[in-house]
Amino acid sequence: MTAPTIDIPAYRGNYINGQWQDAHGGGRIAVIDPATEEAICEVAAGGRDDCRQAIEAARAAMPAWMKMTAWERAKILKKAAELIRSRADDYARMMTMEQGKPLPESRGEVMQTADTFEWFAEEAKRAYGQIIPNSVAGKRHMVIRHPIGVVGSIGPWNFPMALQARKIAPALAVGCTVVAKPASQTPLSLINVFDCLIEAGLPKGCANLVMGSASEISGEMLANPIVRKISFTGSTDVGKQLMRGAADHMKRLSLELGGHAPFLVFPDADPEVVARAAVMGKFRNNGQVCISPSRFYVHKDIAAKFRDVAVAAARELRLGNGLDPQTQIGPMFEKKAMENTVALVADATSKGAKLLTGGGRCSTSRFPKGYFFEPTILTDLPDNAAVLTEEPFAPVMPIMTFSTTEEAIALANNTRYGLAAYLFTHDVSVGWKVAEGLEAGIIGWNDPVPATVQCPFGGMKESGLGRELGQEGMDAYLETKYVSIGLRE
């Protein structure tokens, strides 16, 4: 076991209908620290029966929860936000231990989670309807908003707390109830959110936590007609499976899927400043970020300078256990991810790409344990390099060049993904044209970190369906109900 620096219980169960309980089958999953490869603790490994029980509990809780006013629900959610904030240091440590990212990044995610609960608690007070002018005398038309129903929330491991909050907070705020399933590698962050919701006074059954088999839990969410919506963040392949499975009951879906973000640097940009921003954006969380820039297209006139500065900046990054305050880059989250990255780099170099820095697992003499991968920069890549055609989700930065604005837009859009895109220019005419031409749901224009709670987040093309955060992120949990009234003459 990893030496405990905070008190992590040896075992946590599922939370269903107001009770922490073992999985029906009694199974458990070990949570592994990717920096040490040691088990931190165990959690329940639930399945179909656990999920069914949770769905029933969510159904039973919903009538009373949706009858409460948005103001009453907001009090509970804002209290949960305060609790999360007040425990940020402890929760950040636990996140770093289960996921690997450095403490400041974990702390930032915990604070973002609190902001998300607070923001949706407030926003739900403004779930306005509409009065629409009538065209026939004696009629009146009204539009009201109705909570969608029981929501299944499935999240990934890369942002184990914030991405679940983007689903659970708006769903609860507007009067839905929830069954949530975290990624099996990173359940502790969501458990911590549940502890705060419970302490804040969330009535039993309103939010339920089921950890365990993804196929069984999602299978029950899809088959069970009580679940009216599934909100999923994860890979495009699983998103497509869920979309097929949701058809039978016409379940609503929010899908936040993979990305392959282009990063365009135009000739008026300062190559030194932008290269540093690029390295920061690229290697954050080891590139295991859905909106991570992953294809760098730099204007040919400034490409050499950009490359030199990027290589120097990547070599300066300090790798280590995320709990060490000096660490800037932690381990990748699991062994398979590290092995995939080795294969991606080998594929590119075997096809003629030039390796500028990094390229492999960090030496075992320096890191005998843990999934540490060297920040890697490649150039001269052929179009068919896997790192350019498939989402890499890895600390690999491929740098290419372009000559014209039209070419840059075409290269950027040459992918089945459309989540985020970045462009760097202070020429407003160029920037505006590019922002309009890019097929991406999120665009960072001179901004390498565009996501924020009050703005919509989501993808075009195969990057997903719907939007989270912002007003759209609340609308995703509401049905529009139109009421036409005939008045007595």
Q: Write out the catalytic residue numbers.
A: 256, 290
Q: How far is the CB of 187 from ligand NAP (least distance, A)?
A: 9
Q: Which residue, 322 or 464, has its beta carbon nearer to ligand NAP? A: 464
Counting contacts by CB under 6 A, is residue 158 touching ligand NAP? yes
Any contact of residue 21 with ligand NAP (CB under 6 A)? no
Q: How far is the CB of 215 from ligand NAP (least distance, A)?
A: 5
Residue 284 neighbours by CB under 8 Å, 6+ apart:
105, 292
Closest separation in Å from C-beta 293 to ligand NAP: 13
Least Å distance, CB 315 to ligand NAP, is 27
User: Per the structure block, which two tokens stand in for 199?
Assistant: 């302490």
Side by side, the strands of the sheet bearing 28-33 are: 11-12, 38-44, 28-33
Residue type, 327: T
Distance CA(251)–CA(228), nearest Å, equals: 5
Among 241, 349, 446, 471, binds ligand NAP (CB under 6 A): 241
Q: Is 452 in the site for ligand NAP (CB under 6 A)?
A: no
Q: What is the DSSP letter of 374?
A: -
Residue 333 CB, shortest distance to ligand NAP, in Å, is: 9
Residue from 147, 258, 330, 375 in contact with ligand NAP (CB under 6 A): 258
Q: 3-state class of 269 per DSSP?
A: coil
Q: In the complex with ligand NAP, which residue's Cβ is closer, 285 or 425? A: 285
Q: Which stretch binds ligand NAP (CB under 6 A): 9-17, 35-43, 252-260, 363-371?
A: 252-260
Record the tokens describing residue 384, joined without a space.
Answer: 């068919």
- Whole-angstrom Cα distance, residue 406 to residue 404? 5
Quick check: 113 binds ligand NAP (CB under 6 A)? no
- Nearest CB to ligand NAP, comparing residues 47 and 370: 47
Integer angstrom CA distances of residue 70 from 145, 195, 232, 321, 480: 12, 22, 25, 43, 17
**Of these, 214, 247, 346, 485, which contacts ligand NAP (CB under 6 A)?**
214
* Of 131-139, 229-237, 265-273, 474-482: span binding ligand NAP (CB under 6 A): 229-237
Q: Is 393 in the site for ligand NAP (CB under 6 A)?
A: yes
Report the candidate in 255, 182, 184 with the shortest Cα–Cα distance to residue 457: 255
Whether 402 and 370 have beta carbons less than 8 Å apart is answered as no
- The CA-based angle 438-461-180, given to 5 degrees, is 120
| Residue 200 structure tokens | 């804040």
Q: Does 235 bind ligand NAP (CB under 6 A)?
A: yes
If binding is defined by CB under 6 A, does position 290 make contact with ligand NAP?
yes
Q: Is 257 in the site for ligand NAP (CB under 6 A)?
A: yes
Structure tokens of 229?
A: 């919506």
Cα–Cα distance measured from residue 386 to residue 346, given in angstroms and rounded to the nearest whole number? 10
Task: Taking the CA atoms of 195, 200, 203 and 208 in sequence, report the sign of the dihedral they define.
Answer: negative
Residues 6 or more apart from 62 whose CB is under 8 A from it?
A: 147, 149, 150, 175, 176, 177, 206
CA end-to-end distance (rounded Å), the chain? 77
d(CA 314, CA 280): 9
Q: Give the interface segment with ligand NAP, choosing from 108-116, 227-235, 279-287, 396-404 (CB under 6 A).
A: 227-235
The reply on whether position 275 binds ligand NAP by CB under 6 A is: no
Cα(317)–Cα(229) distance, rounded to whole angstroms? 42
Cβ at position 330, least distance to ligand NAP in Å: 17
Q: Least separation, in Å, of the C-beta of 185 and ligand NAP?
A: 6
Q: Is 333 in the site for ligand NAP (CB under 6 A)?
A: no
- Cα 411 to Cα 146: distance, rounded to the nearest angstrom: 42
Min CB(408)–ligand NAP separation in Å: 23
Q: Which is nearer to ligand NAP, 232 or 445 (CB)?
A: 232
User: Could you give the count of Cα atoms lying within 13 Å of 236 in the half-sphere of its Cβ?
Assistant: 19
Our CB check for ligand NAP shows the closer of 302 and 396 to be 396
157 binds ligand NAP (CB under 6 A): yes
* d(C-alpha 52, C-alpha 60), whole Å: 12
Report the side by side order of strands in the sheet with 478-486: 130-132, 139-147, 478-486
Stretch that binds ligand NAP, among 30-38, 115-123, 234-242, 362-370 (CB under 6 A): 234-242
Residue from 92, 148, 238, 423 binding ligand NAP (CB under 6 A): 238
Of residues 212 and 271, the one with the C-beta less far from ligand NAP = 212
Q: Residue 357: in which H helix or E strand, if any?
A: strand 354-357
Q: How far is the CB of 234 from ligand NAP (least distance, A)?
A: 3
With a CB cutoff of 8 Å and minimum separation 6, the contacts of 454 are 119, 469, 470
Query: Judged by CB under 6 A, does residue 392 bind ligand NAP?
Result: no
**Near ligand NAP by CB under 6 A, which window of 38-46, 120-128, 177-185, 190-198?**
177-185
Residue nearest to ligand NAP (CB): 234
Residue at token pair 């135009």:
266
Asked if 163 is part of the footprint of ligand NAP (rule: CB under 6 A), the reply reads yes
Which pair of structure tokens corresponds to residue 378? 């490649």
> How many residues make contact with ligand NAP (CB under 6 A)?
28
**Which is nearer to ligand NAP, 149 or 466 (by Cβ)?**
466
Query: What residues make contact with ligand NAP under the rule CB under 6 A?
Result: 154-158, 163, 181, 183-184, 214-215, 218, 233-235, 238, 241-242, 256-259, 290, 391, 393, 419, 459, 464
